[in-house]
Amino acid sequence: MSTPTISVEGLSYTYPDGTEALADIDLHIHAGERIALLGPNGAGKTTLILHMNGILMPQQGSVAVTGLRLDHRSVMEIRRRVGIVFQDPDDQLFMPTVWRDVAFGPQNLGLDHDAVAARVERALDTVGMTKVAHRPPNHLSFGQKRRVAIAGVLAMEPEILVLDEPTSNLDPASRRELTELLTSLDITQLIVTHDLPYAAEVCERAMVIDEGRIVADGTTFDILGDQQLMRSHRLELPYGFSVPPR
């Protein structure tokens, strides 16, 4: 099998207050996969994804992206390879216009103006936000802000896209549009979500994390259909939703 896009081996992390957030995590993600990361609040999901591009550094174990091991020497290249889209787009949008927000990352790579412009135009076109390029981000709807935040990450041309609760606070139409966007992207994706129907719709594979450990890894339908597993890790499908037959 090819080198995993992301390889995590024996990853453990304890916060300064003594809270053990991750305990001996092993996982592999391969190119082209779209994986849902599921788990109750406080399970370690955010701590895990913050290790994916070096916002947090491993205390024990290792993280590697396409064979490059994360450390203080490689962290900037890892951050180029792994783009994180946070739950609240206002955490990522801070420039006066959409265009300048999306351009911020490529400019910091030292690219010339034409190369930056090409990346910005391509990213905005991909997410359908070209028409708002010169508007201030704070004048956009929440769904539009999320698309611009995704564009800012795509402009870095990452090898993997990590999304934290991408459907939160979206109306049904915006949720559908986001689904169409993410499924159209030819890029490896790890999607942290409490939206279990969305996970079933978008991701063929799912992992469940609880108390800092990966407790299940399999097809999304198998995991969502395992009632004992779901109950034991405080995961619940919405009323009326059933897992379709395989």
β-pairing, 68-69 with 60-65? antiparallel
| pLDDT in the model for residue 39 | 96
Domain contains 139: yes
Domain contains 97: yes
* Number of domain units in the chain: 1
Domain contains 184: yes
Q: Is the dihedral of CA 101, 106, 108, 111 positive or negative?
A: negative
Domain contains 238: no
| pLDDT in the model for residue 245 | 55
Distance, CA of 237 to CA of 246 (rounded, Å)? 17
Domain contains 246: no
| pLDDT in the model for residue 1 | 53
Identify the domain containing residue 217 by its residue range. 6-232
- Average pLDDT per block of 10 residues along the chain, 246 residues long: 87 95 96 96 95 95 95 94 93 93 93 96 96 94 94 96 93 91 94 94 96 96 94 87 64
Domain contains 243: no
Q: Of 160, 155, 46, whose CA–CA distance to 106 is shortest?
A: 155
Domain contains 47: yes
* CATH assignment at residue 37: 3.40.50.300
Residue 17's Cβ-count burial label (10 Å; 0-12, 13-18, 19+) is: exposed
Collapse the DSSP code of 39 into the 3-class scheme (helix H, G, I; strand E, B; otherwise coil) and give the result. coil
Domain contains 56: yes
> Backbone phi, then psi, for 102, in 5-degree steps?
-70, -30
Distance, CA of 11 to CA of 27 (rounded, Å)? 9
Collapse the DSSP code of 167 into the 3-class scheme (helix H, G, I; strand E, B; otherwise coil) and give the result. coil
| pLDDT in the model for residue 3 | 80
CA dihedral of 84, 89, 90, 93, whole degrees rounded to 10: 70
